[in-house]
Each structure stands twice: as C-alpha cells, then as structure tokens.
C-alpha cells in the first residue's frame, strides 16, 4: 500500500537496516581494511533484501517507481524528512565505500589497464579446470577455439574471475560453460546502483544467482570485457558499472575482426 503511514514505516525500517549494516561494516574496517575487502565485504549485499522488501511493501518493483510514489506524498513534511534521512544514509554509504576504495588503492600495486599498453600477462592465475598455475600469456596467441566467428579472427575466449577455486568449478558445472576459465583475487564493492539493481530483480520475483552455502564466495560480482592481441597488448577495455552493463557482442566481434586484419596485414608486411 502507498498510504503515507505505510510509507513512513517502510522508510524508517529501511534507514534503520542500512545504518545497522554500515555500523557493522565500519567496525570491520576499523579492525582491518584488507580482511573486510577479502572476507567481510559480502555483508553489504544484505542491503539487497532491505530494498527489495521496501519495494514489495509499497507495491513497486523499481527505484524509479519508488521515487515516483514518494513524490506523490511529498506534500507531507514527515515524508520529506523521512526520505531525506534515506538520502543521507545512502550518501554515507557511498562515502564509506570511497574511503574503503581509497585505502585499498593506496596499497594496491596493480596497474590500471589502458588501450595500447601491455596487459599483465605474467600475473599469476589458476586454471579452474586443471588447478594448474597459469598466466595470461598462456592464453595469448593460438589455442583451442570454440566460437566460429572468433575462430575466424584467430581468437579465443577466457573467463577470468575472482573468488575461490571450488566456487568457480561449480559455476562451470552449473552453467555448462565450455570456455577456458582462470581465477584471480580481487574485490567487489557494493555501491547503491548495484544494491538497487538486485533489489529490483528480487522485488520483481526474479531469481538471483545462488551463493554456495558451504563456500565464502560472491556470485554477484561486477566485471568487464578485455580484448588482447596475440602479443598481450590491450586492444579494448570495458569496465562494467553495474551487473548488466556489458558491451554489445557484435561490437566485440567487430573489434576482434579489425584487430585480426591489422595483425595479418602487419605480419605480411614484415614478411616481405
């Protein structure tokens, strides 16, 4: 129901829940930022349930509809104050993530990826299927090819993830993915855009990827797309800003085909 009293009650519960998660997270960070990022950051994901319950209680399924409903009751000073309180706690959430990110970045020696530079092709990885230590260099150049169009341009697909090895293996089995897969350690920051993305899915009764109960892993991680040439040079970088944010597949194939033609032309010129 969207009556004023119900809206106030729902907003109050949402704010209280977010404040509780923030308090717990800040306590973890005060003890160790690294431990929080590597082991405890998943506590932020519990905000998904808070927002989805809020949306369902108000008979809406998206943040846009939620804000529209608030607008319809904005003449009420109580609603104004309650909504501003939510905005403030969300700003506090974002400030907290920025502090965590700055702390991690300050001690992070990994380079930022740029087109035209060499990728970290010697970084240590683990092949999910064989448990063997590998590097990105292992996947550059010729190799087993699984997609016809990619085969035409001499490419191969590598799924690069982070998390635990057993979780990655179960994901391969559950999805029937046939591509090569390797894992590395990384971090996942639950910003409000990501929280609301998943909250909308839950409010709409959609099923989210399930977490393996016996593993400390994260199936809702953000990612991106990276295209390397055969020598390991970066041709294309795309960093996802939210879970569904991915480049168009045809655009990726066009980039690969263009790069393949360039390499063939360059190789032919060098051979003359």
Integer Cα distance of 181 and 146 in angstroms: 13
* Paired tokens of 28: 């973890």
Integer Cα distance of 166 and 64 in angstroms: 38
Class of domain 125-186+221-271: alpha beta
- 56 pLDDT tier (thresholds 50, 70, 90): very high
Integer Cα distance of 84 and 90 in angstroms: 10
Record the pTM. 0.59
Task: Summarize pLDDT for 191-237 with one digit per residue, the tens.
Answer: 677 777 777 777 777 765 555 454 445 555 556 777 877 777 787 87
Asked if 86 contacts 11 with a C-beta cutoff of 8 angstroms, the reply is: yes
Task: Summarize pLDDT for 79-94 with one digit per residue, the tens.
Answer: 999 999 999 999 999 9
Domain locations along the chain: 4-106, 125-186+221-271
The number of beta carbons lying within 10 Å of the beta carbon of residue 39 is: 12
DSSP 3-state assignment of 166?
helix
């Amino acid at each position: 129901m969207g009556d004023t009293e119900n809206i106030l009650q729902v907003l109050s519960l949402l704010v209280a829940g977010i404040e509780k998660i923030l308090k717990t997270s800040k306590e973890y960070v005060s003890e160790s930022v690294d431990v929080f990022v590597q082991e405890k950051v998943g506590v932020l994901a519990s905000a998904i349930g808070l927002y989805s319950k809020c949306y369902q209680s108000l008979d809406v399924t998206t943040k846009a509809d939620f804000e529209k409903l608030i607008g319809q009751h904005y003449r009420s000073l109580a609603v104004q104050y309650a909504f501003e309180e939510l905005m403030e706690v969300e700003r506090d959430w974002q400030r907290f993530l920025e502090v965590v990110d700055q702390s991690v970045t300050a001690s992070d020696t990994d380079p930022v990826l740029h087109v035209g530079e060499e990728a970290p092709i010697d970084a240590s990885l683990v092949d999910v299927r064989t448990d063997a230590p590998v590097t990105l260099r292992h996947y550059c150049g010729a190799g087993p090819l699984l997609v016809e169009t990619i085969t035409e341009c001499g490419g191969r697909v590598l799924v690069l993830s982070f998390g635990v090895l057993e979780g990655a293996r179960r994901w391969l089995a559950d999805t029937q993915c046939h591509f090569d897969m390797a894992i590395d350690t990384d971090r996942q920051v639950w910003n409000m855009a990501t929280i609301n993305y998943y909250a909308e899915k839950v409010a709409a009764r959609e099923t989210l990827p399930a977490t393996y109960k016996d593993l400390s892993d994260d199936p809702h991680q953000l990612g991106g797309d990276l295209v390397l040439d055969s020598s390991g040079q970066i041709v294309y970088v795309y960093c996802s800003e939210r879970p569904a944010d991915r480049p168009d597949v045809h655009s990726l194939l066009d980039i690969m085909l263009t790069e393949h033609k360039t390499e063939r032309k360059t190789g032919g010129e060098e051979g003359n």
